[in-house]
Amino acid sequence: MAVKSGSYWVTWANTHAKNSTDVEDLRDPFKTNAKAFIEALEDAGASIAISTTFRSEDRAYLFHWCWLIGLGKIKPSEAKKKHGVDIEWDHGDDKASVAGAKEMIKGFGLAVPPNSEVAPSLYTNHKNGDAIDMAITWEGDLHVLDKKGTEHVVPFMKKVNLNKKLHRVGASYGVKKLTSDAPHWSATGH
pLDDT tens figures, 122-139: 989 999 999 999 999 999
Q: Which domain holds residue 121?
A: 3-186
What global pTM score does this model have? 0.83
Specify the DSSP class assigned to residue 48: E
Contact between residue 138 and residue 121 where contact means Cβ atoms under 8 Å apart: no
- The number of domains in the chain is 1
Please return the burial class of 80, using the count of CB atoms within 10 Å of its CB with bins 0-12, 13-18 and 19+. exposed
Task: Say what the alpha-carbon torsion angle 172, 161, 59, 88 is, to the nearest 10 degrees.
Answer: -160
Please return the burial class of 165, using the count of CB atoms within 10 Å of its CB with bins 0-12, 13-18 and 19+. middle
User: How many CB atoms are closer than 10 A to CB 115?
Assistant: 14
Instruction: Identify the CATH number of the domain in which residue 44 sits.
Output: 3.30.1380
Contact between residue 76 and residue 69 where contact means Cβ atoms under 8 Å apart: yes
Each residue's pLDDT tens digit, 36-72: 999 999 999 999 999 999 999 999 999 999 999 999 9
